[in-house]
Amino acid sequence: MVVLVTGANGQLGQSLQFIAAEYPQIDFRFYNSQELDITQKKGIETIFNTIKPEFCINAAAYTAVDKAESEPEKAYEINVTGAGNLAEVCKEIGAKLIHISTDFIFDGNQKTPYTEDDRTNPKSVYGQTKLDGEKAIQSIFERYFIIRTSWVYSQFGNNFMKSMLRLSKERETLSIVNDQIGTPTNAVDLAHVLMKIISNTVQNPERKTYGIYNFSNEGQCSWFDFAKKIFQINNIKIDLKPIPSSDYPTPAERPKYSVLDKNKIKRVFGVEVKNWEESLKIIE
């Protein structure tokens, strides 16, 4: 079974490569943005018609949240046009699409975890383009899984955890926002969940499980709590100061609360979700 992965150089792409050997029944084909530009439909068709994947995992995205505010066209081209191109080519060759979305599609005004059916209301260009990408896929065909996730980190790529570890070597004091609440997601945990979705879909072809799903690790914390735990696990002594978002203005507005409800993915696919602190310890 061939599974094509876009965005091979990103966090999720590298996490999928990290676990690939655990799934010998799958012939993974990894493509970075130079090898497969999802904004170019003809290039996608050439590759897909050659290797004929049964599944495509779209881990390619424009994820520079603040930069998107000044580059909306580029964010749209990758997150919306690119997602639509993949959906169209998957439809043409009969492949299934697994697309990664984000908690930024919500405005963060809730006080309880967001379900897949809650109202979307993005507050940033990035969030809007990711939501528009979801809609583009849904308008093209129904053989898709859209996985909304949040606060992704790993031992790969650029992320909050790696930034904190780097900054701890450069500074004695760090001020971290403590009034944005969400849930960290270990990208390797996310990668394993995608494999579970693929396995379940292949083994139970008659089950209609396509649609939108939330996945992050369990629990919730602020960015301050997350940083504190990172330093604690790594035995790093640093003066950590909690600050409100108003003290750290950014071009893009972040959701104040973006905890995701995982009940649907647990129920449909039997996914067991680790607590974020437990998963953080695994990659110390």
Report the distance separating Cα 88 and Cα 81, nearest Å. 10
Report the distance separating Cα 80 and Cα 61, nearest Å. 9
Predicted TM-score of the model (pTM)? 0.97
Instruction: State yes or no: pLDDT of 68 exceeds 80.
Output: yes
Predicted confidence (pLDDT) per residue in 176-201, tens digit:
999 999 999 999 999 999 999 999 99
114 assigned to active site: no
Domain residue extents for the chain? 2-158+184-217+259-273
First to last CA, the chain: 33
Cβ atoms within 10 A of the Cβ of 119, count? 10
Mean pLDDT, range 5-20, rounded to an integer: 98
The fold adopted by the segment(s) 2-158+184-217+259-273 is Rossmann fold (3.40.50)
Three-state SS for 79-109 is HHHHHHHHHHHHHHHCCEEEEEEEHHHCCCC
Catalytic-labelled residue, pool 126, 144, 153, 213: 126
Instruction: State yes or no: pLDDT of 284 exceeds 80.
Output: no
Tokens (6 digits) for 184 = 């960290």
Which class for 170: exposed (0-12), middle (13-18), buried (19 or more C-beta within 10 A)? Answer: exposed
Tokens (6 digits) for 171 = 């500074």
Residue whose token pair is 């169209």: 88
pLDDT of 282 reads: 81
What type of residue sits at position 130?
Answer: K
Predicted confidence (pLDDT) per residue in 139-155, tens digit:
999 999 999 999 999 99
